[in-house]
Amino acid sequence: MIEICEVGPRDGLQNECKMVSTESKVELITRLLDSGIRNIEAVSFVNPKVVPQMADAEEVLKSLPKRNGVRYGGLVLSRSGLERALTTDVDFLHVVTTTSDSFNLRNARRTVEQAVEELSLVIKEGAASGIGVAGVLGTSFGCPFEGDVPLENVLKAAERFLEAGCTEITLADTTGMANPIQVQKVAESFFDIFGKDLSLGLHFHNTRGLGLANVLAGYHAGVRRFDSSIAGLGGCPFAPKAVGNVCTEDMINMFHGMGVNTGTDLPSVLETAKWMEKVMERTLDGMLMKAGIA
């Protein structure tokens, strides 16, 4: 069985021009829960002046249904984000840095080393408060400014985050530069170095049409946790050419066709994707809602 981390309510909406209401966000998450998805990146604790679409994080979390076995995650980029998160009942912190100095300096005005140092303190405090913490490493498969990112840079950042208290690591392909062979090699390297028990996740954008191929490569390398976004929504305000994420219903359809359990009801997820297209008032990227379930 695989675990889906649905990032539509956060990564899916953060780059949209249309402002989605708190009520619609809560309905989206509730629909996803009803479809069987249990791990949802619901909000982001970032500067609302920079990412206004995520300004209502506290309101969203207060309004969400409380159900057993459900995990609500919130993205944190800094100490100030942690302070906001600790005033809520968010279940998991998704602490994020990229692994490219050029990317980090342009978007956070600090090197990777400086970011890892600061965020390690954030991780320690978050873990000490009793909240789960996942480390998310952006540009793990390439940087739009530098090109190749050495694997040792990604491994080093992961090691520091694990030492600080992360129980999970997610490798993010921030602008869709990964290819399947690379994904398999990177995932296998992580398991070789940190052990097969490492909770490793993968986060892909479909910028160059390789999203599902990269998911499949990760699956064959032993990864069982994947980020995806309903209807293929997604993008990053800080990353050039970062288009939509791997589409949730398309990914579920692929795994179901392979006989792999996802714990979800595909027709229900598909209906939510169609509903989301109406909310956004534009055609979204998902393929299954155009072709239908075979």
Q: Which residues are catalytic?
A: 236
Q: HSE (CB half, 13 Å, CA atoms) of 243?
A: 13
What is the phi/psi pair of residue 290, to 5°? Answer: -95, -40
- Report the first-to-last Cα separation within the chain, whole angstroms: 21
Cα 51 to Cα 289: distance, rounded to the nearest angstrom: 29
Are 60 and 43 in contact by the 8 Å Cβ rule? The answer is yes
Residue 197's contacts (CB-CB under 8 Å, 6 or more residues apart) are none
Cα 289 to Cα 278: distance, rounded to the nearest angstrom: 12
Taking CA atoms, 232 is separated from 13, 196, 227, 266, in Å, by 11, 30, 11, 15
Q: CB atoms < 10 A from the CB of 290, how many?
A: 9
Helix (H, G, I), strand (E, B) or coil at 163: helix
Cα 155 to Cα 124: distance, rounded to the nearest angstrom: 19
Cα 246 to Cα 210: distance, rounded to the nearest angstrom: 9
